[in-house]
Chains A and B, each alone.
Chain A
Amino acid sequence: MNTPLLHASSLVLRYGSTTALAGVDLVINEGESVAIMGASGSGKTSLLHCLSGILRPDGGTVRFAGPTGPVDLSTLSDGERSRLRREAFGFVFQQGLLVPELTAVENAALPLLLSGYARRDAEARAAAWLGALGLRGLEERRIGELSGGQAQRVAIARAQVGGATLIFADEPTGALDSATSVDVMDALLRSTVGQGHTLVVVTHDEKVAARCSRVVRLTDGQIVSDSAGPVPPRAAVPAPGAFAGPSPVTTAVAHVAATDGPAFGGAGWEAGR
């Protein structure tokens, strides 16, 4: 059953006189893995930034069906969007962009620390994630002592340790060789959509896109093809109603799963390289 999670309508984004997004409509459903593709300058990263609340669009709305009710990202303040990114979304960037002085487990635990978790709990949960992603035994390594693929797995753990069910990835395999890319994409897909979570990936790599359940292609800031078909005319995620509380932003406690770590794993996960 398709449950809409994120609904962008008529998104417009401009950088000075350049139009990066020219009226984008997109509905992302729970449990989907959506690849956003396009040439350089087509607006794919801009779209990701608007969908995830990093950028506020110049026109249009982005509605997110949060655990405590629908939220319109475009009306939230910077601080509220920052909190939403920290507590409801996960991010994986092209190059892990982890804090180099911290160990793998400390990097993965960072979002939990920022949300006020006790360090011991945060690191235990992060270690469970690292273990499930095939990094058992590497918890105390510093980032400079990890390979590119391993660092990217730490980034994947960091993105989800807070219980985020919507993960945004910007060229997650862009800096890796092809064999490592396959492994990292495996880890990313199994830890997200494998758990019924949602993944939005910006990529220029057809092989990465082929592994996603849906491919959206952009040209000049507009969607030119969508393997799921056109957006239905009716708003998929309802607008935040009057019943919504004064602070629609979710809290960490509200959506973090009660379990102490990832609910996946198995023999295949131990073979991380």
Chain B
Amino acid sequence: MSTIAPPTPTAAPTASRPSGRAPIARLAWMLTRPGAASPATVALPIVAFAVTTALLLIVLGGVLMFWQRTDVNAEAFKLLSLLALALLIVPLATLGGAAARLSARRRDDRLATLRLLGATTGTVTLVTVVESTVLAFLGALAGVVLYAVSMPLVGLIPFDGGPIGPTAIWTGPLPILAVVVGVALLAAVSSVIGLRAVVVSPLGVRLRQRAPHTSWLRLLAGVVIVAVAYGTLSSLGVITDVAILVVALVGAFAASVAVLGLVGPFALSVFAKVRLRRAKTAEQLISARGILESPKAAWRLVGGVAMTSFVAVVAGTGTALLESFSAQSSADAIFIADIRTGVLITLVASFTMVACSVGVGQAAAVLDRRDLYVSLDRVGMPVATMDRARVRSVMLPLVFVAVGSALLGALLVFPLAGLALIVAPLSLLVIGICFVLGLALVRLSLLATRPILTNVLAHPERSLG
């Protein structure tokens, strides 16, 4: 009987004696380098961070542009730019969160293997942090390029009677540096606080927790605030000064927007419950349950659109009316046209951010649920059904909140809206077109993630084996 002799160790050079420390950078590179991971694993977070950075810089550049104005309307524009920023901050944060989550949850298996091989928790965490941060940094750099490339296009937007020009939203090098560092830090912090363990559903929500209860009290508070806002807006007719009018409008908006935030998740959960009861097909059932899983997460995704839709209708109506009445003064006309342009830009920007969040979130969700999708394919669920369930779980809440908030806005300014419909139908049509374009953009981003789903089903061996 022969024994198996261990291989004779070759004379090791003294320099390669183990140091006892894990080579973090080397491990991170081994896990991230092209070929080690599927291209989507590395490319998706980079793209997500690039889009986040570019949108962040464009918004920042836009706000700074208004703060550099020195004309008579400068104060009003500063106020309005802050309002726009407030409206965009939620969708922007959602997008950033989605990107961070996407990069932080990568390659759990590989990290688990590392741990099995004896890497300490500290090493594993450090590898994840290094990896996420590097990907975020690369994405942020790409985002700066994207921002620079998009500047001429954004420069076509008319303000103050003409296009703002290709360099109008240039923030300067310091803010750019701050944004790039900020995005990388966001990724680092996200991976430290262990977002890896988060299970992402089609809406990008945490699973395995009881669906939260939303209270009727919120609805009551909402109704009261809306009534007060309605009263304020109804008495706007007595105000003739444009500046005071703007302040009154902004006040009423702020209150109503707050109501939307208060009532939104509740309204979404009621909406989903109705949908659930009426669900007849598998995709209707899955999408309604998906929203109910976390109405708050669903609201985080589409809430920005709710607020901008509301503002678009109210402000759009107001500006359309003012424009048709004050045509004799060209300075006022330009000011009002600028406000309307700002409203439309904010609307389109918030839809764009939702579209990006949906794209990133869906990419992550499909990859996270790889096994589930493969198993559903095996039990004979058609791909079209899986895709429809995904699309419905995003588009239904989006259309619901966009239309719902627009209607709420129209209700608030009901007499004015009716008047505007008669005297300035074209202005309202433009707002309507922006809505349709925004919805189409989100639908497109869902379409863009479909190949990820078909690719997962075409390579089932990567998941179930």
Contact = CB atoms under 8 A, between A and B. Distances in A.
A67 to B, nearest CB: 16
Contacts of B281: 113
B371 A97 contact: yes
A101 B379 contact: no
Nearest to A79: B382
Contacts of B248: none
B149 interface: no
B379 A102 contact: no
Contacts of B465: 45
Interface in A63-101: 79, 82-87, 89-91, 93, 95, 97, 99-101
Contact of A102 (B289, B371, B377): B289
B372 interface: yes
Given A83-B380, A85-B380, A119-B279, A114 B385 contact: yes
Contact of B461 (A15, A101, A114): A15
B53 interface: no
B109 to A, nearest CB: 15
A237 to B, nearest CB: 21
A131 interface: no
A113 B201 contact: no
A60 B110 CA distance: 37
A158 B464 CA distance: 19
A85 B379 contact: yes
A110 interface: yes
B379 A91 contact: yes
Interface in A107-123: 110-111, 113-114, 118-119
Q: Most chain-B Cβ atoms within 10 A of its Cβ — which of A15, A86, A158, A159?
A: A86
Interface string B263-284: 0000000000000000111100
A155 B375 CA distance: 11
B293 interface: yes
Nearest to B383: A82
A106 interface: yes
Contacts of A256: none
B123 to A, nearest CB: 28
B285 interface: yes
Given A101-B286, A101-B289, A106-B289, A114 B381 contact: yes
B208 interface: yes
Interface in B381-412: 381-382, 385
B201 A101 contact: yes
A100 B205 CA distance: 12
A231 interface: no
A106 B285 contact: yes
B280 A99 contact: no
Given A102-B285, A113-B281, A97 B207 contact: no
A119 B380 contact: no
A144 interface: yes
Q: Most chain-A Cβ atoms within 10 A of its Cβ — which of B208, B378, B379?
A: B379
A138 to B, nearest CB: 15
A97 B372 contact: yes
A87 B382 CA distance: 12
A110 B464 CA distance: 21
B465 to A, nearest CB: 7
A93 B464 contact: yes
Contacts of A79: 382
Nearest to B372: A97
Given A15-B461, A93-B375, A119-B280, A82 B289 contact: no
Contacts of B461: 15
Contact of A113 (B282, B289, B375): B282
A101 B282 contact: no
A73 B427 CA distance: 61
A86 B289 contact: no
A111 B289 CA distance: 17
B39 to A, nearest CB: 19
A9 B207 CA distance: 45
B290 interface: yes
A162 to B, nearest CB: 9
B208 A144 contact: yes
Nearest to A87: B380
B385 A102 contact: no
Contacts of A118: 280
A43 B22 CA distance: 38
Given A102-B289, A110-B282, A144 B207 contact: yes
A175 interface: no
Return the 7 tightest CB-CB contacts between A and B, nearest first. Answer: A86-B380, A144-B208, A97-B375, A101-B289, A85-B380, A113-B282, A101-B293
12 contacts: A54-B378, A85-B378, A85-B380, A91-B375, A91-B378, A95-B371, A100-B201, A100-B372, A103-B289, A106-B289, A110-B379, A159-B379
Interface of B: 199, 201, 207-209, 279-282, 285-286, 289-290, 292-293, 371-372, 375-382, 385, 461, 464-465
Given A93-B378, A97-B372, A144-B207, 7 more contacts: A84-B380, A86-B379, A86-B380, A100-B372, A113-B281, A114-B382, A114-B385
